[in-house]
Amino acid sequence: MTIDMSQFYQVFFEETAEHLTAMESLLLELDIASPDSEALNAIFRAAHSIKGSSGTFGFTDLAEVTHVLENLLDRIRKNELALRNDMVDAFLDAGDVLKAMLAAHQGGAPVAEGAVAEVCANLKALTTDAVAPALSVAAVPSLPPAVLPTEEGFDIEFLPTVEATADHRALPNLLQALSSMGRLDVVAQPEAGAPGLWCLRLFTGRPQAEFEDFLAFVSETDGWRVKRIATDATDAGGAYGLFDAPDAAPVEDAYGLFEPVDGAPAASAFVVDEGDGFGFFEPLPVAPESAASPLAEVEGDGFGFFEPMPPPQASSASAVAVSPPLPAELPVVSEATSAPGAASVPAAAPEIRAKPAVVPGAEAASIRVSVERADQLINLVGELVITQAMLLQCAAQMHDAAPEALTNGLAQLERNTRGLQEAIMSIRMMPISFVFSRFPRVVRDLSSKLGKQVELKMNGETTELDKGLIERIADPLTHLIRNSLDHGVELPEKRIAAGKSPVGTITLKAAHQGGNIVIEVGDDGAGLDRQRIMSKARERGFQISDQMSDQDVWALIFEAGFSTAEVVTDVSGRGVGMDVVRRNIQAMGGRIEIESMTGVGTRMTVRLPLTLAILDGMSVAVGGHIYILPLSYVIESVQPERGDVKTLSNQTRVIQVRNEYLPVVTLHDMFRVPGAETDFTKGIMIVLDADGTKAALFVDALVGQHQVVIKSLEQNYRRVSGISGATIMGDGRVALILDVSALIELSRAAQAVAVPVTA
């Protein structure tokens, strides 16, 4: 019977993706000339985990590719090969292929066999490359084949506890650990997620006591039994001659994974061997007592988890059994003699306190919660906010009739609601490092392709942002990084000629400012060329003036089809990038600003709300309708006086505010609202700033400022130009949330705004 692990596939996919991401980050941080051994061990552990879990879950294609990758990694970490740039390239390419294969198993497009074969061939060629070892070490001969034990088969039965059955990690981890000891089949298993007896069949060359030690380590009682079923793996297909294992003392290690199996014979007696590693690690060799020399520094295959340890002293009392001494025919590495070239081995290695490597997928005080559940909680707290607003409005309408106790209770409800809302919103918050982590690879690959030397500096990776924004901001930031690489940072020879370092710098920063997150993408390149941008704008037929401010000139690069590139390449030059960047950022309720200085560099600043679920807004009245303005766009509000609003020759209206002429956007004209105020002196002008573009929005009156819950208009109705969503007010009415950037663009298109006149 083949093993059915489909109930654990999602866990496998998530953990494998985490391992691949960790591998890529560690590879990009490696110092090629002097790689950190901890980092190499961490990369190897990640690859080893992927290979083991892939084999357990039946994804043999993933296991095969990872095995080839692991072989090269193993030679590098053992100093048999020196790390080179082409090896790092091969590892990164293999990671890309593994990601594509993982996506294919999740229902994505299949991976071309040629790509997989090419990556494997490259890794194999590098593995067999005759490169001098990075460090000459004394090798310990391996055990001769005659010493290896004969492969045997064993039946293993166990009854998981209810808790272990409910834990989505416990059983897969157990099965993965057992499968690493040999070939594992499932003879019988309960229904998915249901408690019941598991019957496994393990064919292994390892001694029975080894996996019994492992089972005892994770069991609460002797709730398992082991029976030998064959003396050789080749006999496994016939009738199994079962016999009970001898009696054993009960196991007292309480990990709560197993229940006692009724009627099960006791397992064989054993003592947990700490040097054994429960089947995960090779035993460390121990020098015989008769040997005069101390223990040599021999590398056990511990994947960087453990430091070498000296053997226990004979006089020390210990209840822990140690591994047997080396066989007589296996030479023991002794102290270095005076012979030339002999390596000196210290009697005892000093304690090394290295920085602990981050183990991908390590257990933490956290649980996996589906996005759907988090969204459901957010929707519920949103409804609570609406209910609380309704109660406050009811109390306000009662005026003096409202009892003081009711007023105090509602105030307490408001505070508790805000606290609950903030706590639940934090569930969806994720560090922006989930996005930033992809950019070292982007910079490395693209700078190499463009022949540039670029260093990426990142700050604020722990800054948290809503998960929905994390997923949507990745593409715009990627384009900004690519734009800085292609258009910003110069070639090394040009930088040297300009008196700069040949290595350019791209900075990526994130920080909270008020209720927003601010992301900066900067470079120390040539900066934007004002004259070149204006020349291209004239060629495109844009209405421009030499008196335009730098901010207005920089804003031209966001126009559709605008590009200053001389040659169209696969990186840039088609003018279809920056306008999409601005549009996507605006769709998230954010804005982008540009600062640049010729010869110094360019900085692009993206401002986003922390969440897309709830925002602070200003409600305004137009006719009989209420609209919501996001507060992040509002600068001030003014009461126009007669003569403040001027009409240009093309019927465009502007208003003078603090010696600046701003285009007027009349909301009642944009949405054809009947019964709205048309006399500018009787309404209110709200000064708005969207991506550096200012405008004055004319409304009937200001209603108030409050927090609103965003409801998607597109999902429940359809997309409406100038509207980003809707919300429910305290009185139960629906109010539309204005898309300020889109409103200004619509007004420009409708009125064909000309260059502002002067007083």
**pLDDT at res. 313:** 42
Three-class SS of residue 204?
strand
Q: State yes or no: pLDDT of 526 exceeds 80.
A: yes
Q: What is the DSSP string of 206-257?
A: S-HHHHHHHHHHH-SSS-EEEEEEESSGGGTTS----BPPPP-PPP------
Mean pLDDT: which of 52-61, 240-249, 629-638 is highest?
A: 629-638
Mean pLDDT of 694-715: 86
Judge whether 688 and 699 are in contact, CB under 8 Å.
no
Q: State yes or no: pLDDT of 68 exceeds 60.
A: yes
**pLDDT at res. 565:** 63
Mean pLDDT of 179-185: 77
The region of weakest confidence among 360-374, 511-525, 721-735 is 360-374
The more confidently predicted of residues 12 and 229 is 12
**pLDDT at res. 224:** 58
**pLDDT at res. 454:** 94
Amino acid at 540: R
3-class secondary structure for 538-578?
A: HHCCCCCCCCCCHHHHHHHHHCCCCCCCCCCCCCCCCCCCH
Phi then psi dihedrals of residue 582, to 5 deg: -65, -40
Q: State yes or no: pLDDT of 644 exceeds 70.
A: yes
Q: How confident is the model at residue 234 (pLDDT cuts 50, 70, 90)?
A: very low
Mean pLDDT of 251-274: 40
Q: State yes or no: pLDDT of 245 exceeds 90.
A: no
Q: State yes or no: pLDDT of 41 exceeds 80.
A: yes
**pLDDT at res. 515:** 67
The more confidently predicted of residues 507 and 739 is 507
Amino acid at 158: F
**pLDDT at res. 165:** 67
Q: What is the pLDDT of residues 359-376, one digit of tens each?
A: 343 334 556 677 777 777
Q: State yes or no: pLDDT of 489 exceeds 90.
A: yes
Q: How confident is the model at residue 460 (pLDDT cuts 50, 70, 90)?
A: very high
Q: How confident is the model at residue 725 (pLDDT cuts 50, 70, 90)?
A: confident
Q: DSSP assignment, residue 570?
A: S
Mean pLDDT of 287-302: 38
In terms of CATH architecture, what is 6-127? Up-down Bundle (1.20)
Mean pLDDT: which of 319-323, 424-428, 503-507 is highest?
A: 503-507
**pLDDT at res. 398:** 72
The more confidently predicted of residues 379 and 509 is 509
Judge whether 71 and 123 are in contact, CB under 8 Å.
yes
pLDDT above 90: percentage of residues in the chain: 16
Residue 57 CB-density burial (10 A; 0-12 exposed, 13-18 middle, 19+ buried): buried
Q: DSSP assignment, residue 243?
A: B
Sign of the torsion formed by the C-alpha atoms of 469, 473, 475 and 478:
negative
**pLDDT at res. 219:** 56
Amino acid at 232: D
Mean pLDDT of 513-534: 88
The region of weakest confidence among 126-135, 335-344, 453-462 is 335-344
In terms of CATH architecture, what is 432-533+564-609? 2-Layer Sandwich (3.30)
**pLDDT at res. 222:** 45
**pLDDT at res. 682:** 92
Mean pLDDT of 511-535: 88
Q: CA-CA distance, 52 to 139, in Å (whole number)?
A: 27
The region of weakest confidence among 344-348, 435-439, 491-495, 583-587 is 344-348
Helix ranges restricted to H, 286-341: none
The residue among 692, 434, 706 whose CA lies nearest residue 586 is: 692
Taking the CA of residue 466 as centre, how many other CA atoms within 13 Å lie in the half-sphere pointing to its CB?
23
Return all residues near 378 (Cβ < 8 A) that are at least 6 apart: 424, 425, 427, 428, 613
Mean pLDDT of 162-180: 70
**pLDDT at res. 691:** 66
Q: DSSP assignment, residue 8?
A: G
Q: DSSP assignment, residue 680?
A: G
> Cβ atoms within 10 A of the Cβ of 751, count?
18
**pLDDT at res. 292:** 38
CATH node for 614-751: 2.40.50.180
Query: pTM of the full predicted structure?
Result: 0.53
Arithmetic mean of pLDDT over the chain:
73
Q: State yes or no: pLDDT of 756 exceeds 60.
A: no
CA angle 116, 120, 126 (to 5 degrees): 150
With residue 751 as reference, give the H or E element that holds it.
Answer: helix 740-751
Q: How confident is the model at residue 525 (pLDDT cuts 50, 70, 90)?
A: very high
The region of weakest confidence among 350-364, 476-490, 565-579, 631-645 is 350-364
Q: How confident is the model at residue 59 (pLDDT cuts 50, 70, 90)?
A: confident
Q: How confident is the model at residue 156 (pLDDT cuts 50, 70, 90)?
A: confident
- Range 498-526 burial, b when 16+ CB lie within 10 A, else e: eebeeebbbbbbbeeeeebbbbbbbbbbb
Helix ranges restricted to H, 507-597: 530-539, 550-554, 578-587
Q: What is the pLDDT of residues 601-639, one digit of tens each?
A: 999 999 888 776 778 889 999 998 999 998 888 999 999
Q: State yes or no: pLDDT of 238 exceeds 60.
A: no
Pairing of strands 516-523, 503-513: antiparallel
